[in-house]
């Protein structure tokens, strides 16, 4: 198996509060991005990691990862490129650095630093078994309502309640055949179609995406409370 991982890490992380770009905030004294790249490099299938960094921070991110020993990890090489204005553009720019002889591409949010290697391996395996797109996912704890958008400050009318048992919250890494992902990103860019995840692009252009079990520790660090939870998970692992 020959897989590359693309890591969009160019977001500012404004929902986390003021400070450094999200991927560079620290967790247990180590930047979130370093945790995320290590988690991917732990998989024996992953031979290349391409990070999309904030455009003004490419050199800094490269140094940071090299200092963490990730430039020279046995069996895994590292590339850092400038990311784009949206997550989707960051993924497309990083994907351009993946050589054509790579069969499988994973896309993993830098903001999911604690994903267990078992999830990474399960996604790779499902792509190797022939899936056109693979997403790790977990059932929802909360009931979800669809609302009608109204002017800010007004109560939003509920228009529907999808059956919770049929819903999944999807995580990353998401996995794809490399050529397939490159194709849907090119089409989406040409049509200016934006999705909130990469599997959404495969779905849009007619591919069949499948779900594998995700993990509660693969949550995305988005808001301040997520950092508290991530610190606790890390402390438990180190205990």
> Looking at 3, 9, 98, 123, which residue binds ligand C5P (CB under 6 A)?
9
Contact status: 225 vs ligand C5P (CB under 6 A):
no
Which residue number, 37 or 209, has a Cβ lying nearer to ligand C5P? 37
Nearer to ligand C5P, 94 or 126 (CB): 94
In the complex with ligand C5P, the residue whose CB is nearer, 15 or 150, is: 15
Strand residue runs (E) in 66-179:
77-82, 104-107, 133-139, 146-147, 158-160, 168-170, 174-177
Binding window for ligand C5P (CB under 6 A); candidates: 6-14, 42-50, 135-143, 207-215? 6-14
**Contact, 7 vs 91, CB < 8 A?**
no
Smaller CB separation from ligand C5P, 92 or 178: 92
Sign of the C-alpha dihedral computed for residues 198, 199, 201 and 205 taken in this order: positive
User: Please, which residue, 5 or 52, has the CB nearer to ligand C5P?
Assistant: 52
Which of 90, 114, 177, 184 is close enough to bind ligand C5P by CB under 6 A?
90
How long, in residues, is the chain?
Answer: 239
Q: How far is the CB of 16 from ligand C5P (least distance, A)?
A: 9
Strands (E) across 145-221 are located at: 146-147, 158-160, 168-170, 174-177, 209-213
CB of 138 to ligand C5P, least distance (A): 17
**Residues from 109 through 128 that contact ligand C5P (CB under 6 A):** 109-111
Torsion angle defined by CA atoms of residues 178, 185, 226 and 110, in that order, rounded to the nearest 10 degrees: 50
Dihedral, CA of residue 146, residue 199, residue 125 and residue 75, to nearest 10: -130
How far from chain centre, in Å, is Cα 201?
14
Q: Which of 4, 6, 10, 122 binds ligand C5P (CB under 6 A)?
A: 10
- Smaller CB distance to ligand C5P: residue 116 or 125? 116
Report the alpha-carbon distance of residue 112 to residue 169 in Å, rounded: 14
Judged by the rule CB under 6 A, the positions of this chain that interact with ligand C5P are: 8-11, 22-23, 52, 83-87, 90, 109-111, 220, 222
């Amino acid at each position: 198996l020959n897989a590359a991982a693309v890591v969009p890490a160019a977001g500012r992380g404004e929902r986390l509060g003021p400070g450094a770009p999200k991927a560079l905030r620290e967790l247990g004294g180590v930047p979130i991005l370093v945790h995320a790249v290590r988690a991917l490099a732990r998989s024996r299938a992953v031979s290349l990691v391409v990070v999309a960094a904030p455009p003004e921070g490419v050199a800094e991110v490269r140094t940071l990862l090299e200092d963490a020993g990730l430039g020279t990890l046995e069996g895994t090489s590292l590339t850092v490129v400038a990311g784009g204005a949206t997550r989707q553009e960051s993924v497309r720019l990083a994907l351009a650095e993946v050589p054509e002889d790579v069969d499988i591409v994973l896309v993993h949010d830098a903001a999911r630093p604690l994903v267990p290697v078992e999830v990474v391996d399960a996604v790779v395996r499902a792509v190797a078994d022939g899936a056109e797109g693979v997403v790790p996912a977990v059932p929802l704890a909360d009931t979800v309502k669809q609302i009608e958008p109204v002017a800010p400050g007004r109560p939003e009318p509920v228009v529907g309640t999808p059956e919770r048992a049929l819903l999944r919250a999807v995580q990353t890494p998401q996995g794809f055949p490399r050529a397939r992902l490159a194709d849907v990103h090119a089409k989406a860019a040409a049509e200016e179609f934006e999705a909130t995840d990469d599997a959404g692009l495969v779905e849009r252009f007619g591919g069949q995406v499948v779900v594998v079990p995700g993990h509660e520790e693969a949550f995305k660090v988005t808001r301040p409370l997520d950092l508290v939870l991530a610190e606790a998970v890390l402390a438990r692992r180190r205990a």
